[in-house]
Amino acid sequence: MPIDGSESVLVVEAARLARVMMWPAGGNCAAGFYPVPPPRRDAFLAALLDGARFVPRTAELERDESLRQVIPYTLLYRDDGAWLWYQRPAKNGEARLAGRRSVGWAGHVNTGDLPARAAPDPGGARGASYAVRAAVARELSEEAGFWPRDYGPPEMVGLLDDRRDAVGRVHVGLVHVARVAPLTIPRVDPAEIAVWGWADADTLASVRMADPDRPWESWSALLLPSLARLGAADDPEPG
């Protein structure tokens, strides 16, 4: 997505995020994955996205730490306990992801993800929530070649926050998990995805998967210790 103001992306106020998460003043919390219990998920999303809006994606926005760009981050899980992982090519368009491995499929939420009747006004939390779900489906189809018939309804399970660098300080991840039909395989562009595979949570977090020449991208590294408990038996069934 160009950073020239030609597209608008969904943002939330950093101050609202801190209030919803009940972080201490100053927001100096550890980078990590913050799970949201199932009974609280709807209320959490409504509170977080209340007041969310779309703003042009510019170089200034990439430096504005008063706003957090909302990034749906979707993990794909099979009934046998395996998670889909992949590795970007060494020469990737986004240098910070080049050669790195990941378990999440991510992208910005833009105005094209809104229902036509809502554009250009996101319609508050309800419209923003719709746009987040649409962005999840769009990213899975564009990047992984998965269509909604291939997986169950994605479930928002928590939040990723990593303010250790300038990129992390202007983004926030909404982690989703979707169960994939057993025999479904990703249909990826080799120019974008060099290698992919399925592995259980223990394998992904093991030393065997640790490789300094093929490191995990930062959000995936934060999520790996939590994968085992995210593979809950009551996740929605694939269609």
Beta bridge partners of 195: 87
3 state SS for the chain: CCCCCCCEEEEEEHHHHHHHHCCCCCCCCCCEEEECCHHHHHHHHHHHHCCCEEEECCCCHHHCCCEEEEEEEEEEECCCCEEEEEECCCCCCCHHHCCCEECCEECCCEHHHCCCCCCCCCCHHHHHHHHHHHHHHHHHHHHHCCCHHHECCCEEEEEEECCCCCCHHHEEEEEEEEEECCCCCCCCCCCCCCEEEEEEHHHHCCHHHCCCCCCECHHHHHHHHHHHHHCCCCCCCCC
Listed by start position, the domains of the chain span 8-230
* pLDDT tens for the chain, residues 1 to 239: 678 778 999 999 999 999 998 886 655 567 789 999 999 999 999 999 998 999 999 999 999 999 999 999 999 999 889 999 999 988 766 777 788 899 999 999 999 998 876 555 555 788 899 999 999 999 999 999 999 999 999 999 999 999 888 988 999 999 999 999 888 899 999 989 999 999 999 999 885 566 766 789 999 999 999 998 887 544 444 54
All residues at 6 or more sequence positions from 73 whose CB lies less than 8 Å from its CB, including other chains: 104, 105, 106, 160, 173, 174, 175, 176, 219
Whether domain 8-230 has CATH 3.90.870.10: the reply is no
Beta bridge partners of 184: none
